[in-house]
Each structure stands twice: as C-alpha cells, then as structure tokens.
C-alpha cells in the first residue's frame, strides 16, 4: 500500500535506464593494504612517517574491509537500489612495482568483484586512478615524471586487456585537480610540495597520461566508453561589478576549465595559457603532447559536485616577492546567509548542479555526462541511531532529494545527464579526514568488526531507484 502510494505521487520522473548508484574508491574501501602482493602507495608511506596528519591517527591499512567482504557489500548494494557502482582499481595492487609483473591475486580479486556486480545486475564503472600513486612511482617523481606517465599508460592498457571484456564504462582519473591542489599548491597531501610551477607540470602530465590512456582504449576496439571524473566547482562573483565578474572568470579558468576544456575540446583555455605565459609559469610541453590531447577526447564525463566557489576582486595587493598562487588574482567570498553543512563547513547550494548541467549543454556540445559524486558528510552520525538500531539520516535524504530536483530540471531542459551516483555506498576512509565524516548509505561500525547496517537513506534510495524518481 505504502509503495503504491509512493509511486502514484512521483513528481520527478527520470529517463529510462537512468543510472542509480554510488561511487567509492579502492584505497578508501578495500583495506588489506599490504597483503596479497600489494605494495605501498603514497598514503601508506605518508601514514608510516606522519600518522599524526590523519584524523584520530587512523590510517589506510584497513579502511572498510571491502577486499574481504565484497560479496556481502554487493548484496547490500542490491538492497539499496544500485544498478551501477563506481570503484577504482589500485595500481599498487595490480602492478605492485609500478611496471613489470602483474599481481595474479589482484587480477583474481578484481575479476571476482566485476563478476559479482554483473551477476547482481549492477553495472561496474571502473576508475583507474583515485589519488593513489604507488610509492615506487612517487620516488621517480610522480606525475612530474614522464617515466611515470609511461608506466600509467602501461597500467591502463593492462586493465583494459584484463577486464575490458566485461567493464563497459572506464574512467582515467577521479578529480585530477586534487593531487595538484593538495600535493603541490596548498600543502594538504603528500608529497607536501608548495610550488605552482611544479603543480602546473603535474597537471599537464596528468592530462597527457589521460589522453594517452584514452587513445590506448580506443585502439583496442573494445565495446564500451571511456571518460574522466572531474569535480566541477563553479565560481560565482560577489556582485555584477566587472572586477568581481572577472575574478570569477579567472577562478573558473584555474579550477574548472583547466581540466574540463582539454578533455572535452582538446585544448587549454587561451586565457589561462595567457595568464601563465605572462608569469613565465607554463609547464614543459613535449613534442606531440598537444596533438595527443586534441586527438583523444572523452566519450563520457563524470561530474562530482559538492559546493560552489564564491569570489570577489582582489582587495589587497600581493607582495612582489610572493610565489605565485591562483588566489593572487581573486579573493574568496563568504556569502551572508548561506546554507551550510556544519560538519564539513561546506556551503549547500543545490541549484548550482543545474548551472553545471546547463553550462555543459550550452558550451560543451551537450556532452553525455552523469553526476558521479554528490553527498553529505556528517560527523558523529552515531547519535542519530534510533531504537531499531539504524541511523535516521533524514538530512541526507533531504540533501539528495533537493539536488535531484535540480538535476531533473536540467534534464527537462535538455542537458544530457545519464545518471546519479551518491558519494558513497558505505562509510569509508577519507584521506587525512579518515572516518571523521560519514557519507554512506550504509553504516560501517568501526567498533564492532566493521559490521554494516543500512541507514534510512539507503532504504529511501532503493525506492528512488525502483520508481526511477520521487
């Protein structure tokens, strides 16, 4: 009776075959960090030398135990309405030395995961790189090194060859701007370098690695599509004043179009090139780089959206001897009265997801895309347990519903959106934040053998997927 009433009142119906699911990553969920042949990534190494950099000293060695519990977890995906699921292969597990010998235990594990997903009618979306550089590759320079670019392309080819008969949706990188920002600009993540020029080189080499992997995939003539996952954070000016508007345009160049344009249009934004050239900060571009970027455009874009960026014109001059940062060209702006997630400190602004969709429709040839991440992290979520023993996360249901209203509007107005993946399926380890904020549809009990319990949002998400709307 209740379900029938739910169906009768659907106001936001989504297209047939819409992807409902979630996103995760290997390093954040698998655990089993240094067993069965896997070797350290930069996260394992950084934790070994500076565990205090991680919330409550919780490192990446165990994470959420997916490596040993994937069959149970995939059943829980089915119970929460998934018809698709994105995770990542760990380079440090599949090819532990970065290049050379393939780890047969890793091949067996990923084969089992893919086959189990398919057996449960869940389409596997596989990403190749989610911030997790093998430490042996970082020792060669990480993304600053062309040798590492070559090794990544070899790794990608091996993934396509091993799993491409069943995996139809591939992604080269998740949020490739994050290792640039966090590792080379703002001192948030290992290797803790603060040097814009080196960061620019990392960005360019990453885009070359991406384009070469796309080319390798297409040469294999596999059935399937390949793309990239970008976190798009639109920049909004404080006012319509021309200087504020210009500040927002510059911010957008650095934080959105720097990756979006080359992967969809095959070229860097001319205005961004001009800014860097004027400051003698252009990265080294090797012969053939621009051609390989131009010739290998994506089939499909994943869009991660969490919050907008708000900026205004620069109010104070930058010291002449200051090493360049993008923020030398604009100031951040906190909008009064904004809605906020108090746990994360992030603004909640649902209609921005619609603005992204319309921008892709109007300025990026209406490229096929899907919302590949969107979610709400909450600290201390155990306080929302009810008497029946599960978390009543109505705030998460409201968050998703309000965003989906705008996704629906964008689709109605012609944006080519194919699906929605929440971040994330189950509570997982999240880099330096460890388990501080929980995002899952499924609770993971760290104090009780990593037991899983579906939250209220997980039950709601199943109805959403079954009814293909709400």
Residues belonging to the active site: 175, 373
Using an 8 Å Cβ cutoff, are 357 and 410 in contact?
yes
364 three-state secondary structure = coil
Using an 8 Å Cβ cutoff, are 59 and 51 in contact?
yes
Tokens read off for 254? 């650095």
CA angle 49, 41, 255 (to 5 degrees): 100
CA dist 470 and 193 (Å) reads 46
- The one-character DSSP state at 52 is G
Tokens read off for 123? 């389409």
Strands 369-373 and 417-423: parallel
Q: Report in angstroms the alpha-carbon separations of 42 from 47, 192, 402.
A: 8, 11, 37
For residue 437, give the H/E element and its range: strand 437-438
Using an 8 Å Cβ cutoff, are 155 and 91 in contact?
yes
Which candidate, 389, 402, 380, 379, places its Cα nearest to that of 455?
389
CA dist 159 and 148 (Å) reads 16
CA dist 325 and 140 (Å) reads 26
Q: Report in angstroms the alpha-carbon separations of 425 from 77, 86, 421.
A: 7, 10, 9
Max CA separation in the chain (angstroms) = 70
CA dist 372 and 21 (Å) reads 9
Using an 8 Å Cβ cutoff, are 352 and 306 in contact?
no
- DSSP letter string, 305-356: ----EEEE---SPPPTTSPP-GGGG-EE-PPTT--EETTTTEE--TTHHHHH
- The alpha carbons of the chain give a radius of gyration, in whole angstroms, of 22
Length in residues, the chain? 470
């Amino acid at each position: 009776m209740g379900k029938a009433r739910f169906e009768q009142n659907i106001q936001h119906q989504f297209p047939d075959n819409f992807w409902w699911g979630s996103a995760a990553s290997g390093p954040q969920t698998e655990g089993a960090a240094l067993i069965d042949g896997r070797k350290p990534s930069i996260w394992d190494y950084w934790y070994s030398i500076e565990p205090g950099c991680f919330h409550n000293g919780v490192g990446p060695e165990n994470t959420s135990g997916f490596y040993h519990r994937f069959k149970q977890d995939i059943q829980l995906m089915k119970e929460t309405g998934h018809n698709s699921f994105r995770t990542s292969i760990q380079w440090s597990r599949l090819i532990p030395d970065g290049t050379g010998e393939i780890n047969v235990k890793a091949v067996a594990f990923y084969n089992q995961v893919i086959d189990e997903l398919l057996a449960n009618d869940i389409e596997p979306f596989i990403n190749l790189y989610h911030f997790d550089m093998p430490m042996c590759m970082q020792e060669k320079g990480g993304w600053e090194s062309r040798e590492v670019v070559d090794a990544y392309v070899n790794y990608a080819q091996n993934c396509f060859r091993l799993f491409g008969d069943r995996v139809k949706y591939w992604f080269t990188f998740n949020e490739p701007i994050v290792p640039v920002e966090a590792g080379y600009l703002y001192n948030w993540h290992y290797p803790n370098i603060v040097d814009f020029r080196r960061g620019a080189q990392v960005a360019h080499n990453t885009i070359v690695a991406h384009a070469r992997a796309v080319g390798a995939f297409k040469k294999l003539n596999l059935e399937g599509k390949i793309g990239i996952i970008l976190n798009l954070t639109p920049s909004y000016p404080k006012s319509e004043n021309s200087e504020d508007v210009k500040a927002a345009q510059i911010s957008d160049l650095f934080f959105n179009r720097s990756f979006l344009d080359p992967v969809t249009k095959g070229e860097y934004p001319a205005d961004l090139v001009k800014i860097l050239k004027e400051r003698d900060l252009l990265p080294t571009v090797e012969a053939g780089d621009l051609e390989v970027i131009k010739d290998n455009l994506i089939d499909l874009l994943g869009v991660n959206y969490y919050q907008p960026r708000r900026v205004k014109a620069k109010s104070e001059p930058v010291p002449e001897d200051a090493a360049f940062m993008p923020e030398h060209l604009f100031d951040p702006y906190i909008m009064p009265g904004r809605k906020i997630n108090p746990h994360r400190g992030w603004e909640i602004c649902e209609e921005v997801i619609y603005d992204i969709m319309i921008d892709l429709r109007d300025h990026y040839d209406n490229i096929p895309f899907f919302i590949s991440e969107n979610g709400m992290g909450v600290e201390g979520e155990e306080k929302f347990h009810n008497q029946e023993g599960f978390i009543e996360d109505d705030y998460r249901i409201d968050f998703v519903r309000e965003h989906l209203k705008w996704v629906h509007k964008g689709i109605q107005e012609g944006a080519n959106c194919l699906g929605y993946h929440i971040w994330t399926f189950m509570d997982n380890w999240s880099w330096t934040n460890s388990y501080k904020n929980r995002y899952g549809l499924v609770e993971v009990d760290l104090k009780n053998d990593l037991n899983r319990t579906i939250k209220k949002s997980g039950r709601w998400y199943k109805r959403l997927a079954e009814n293909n709307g709400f």
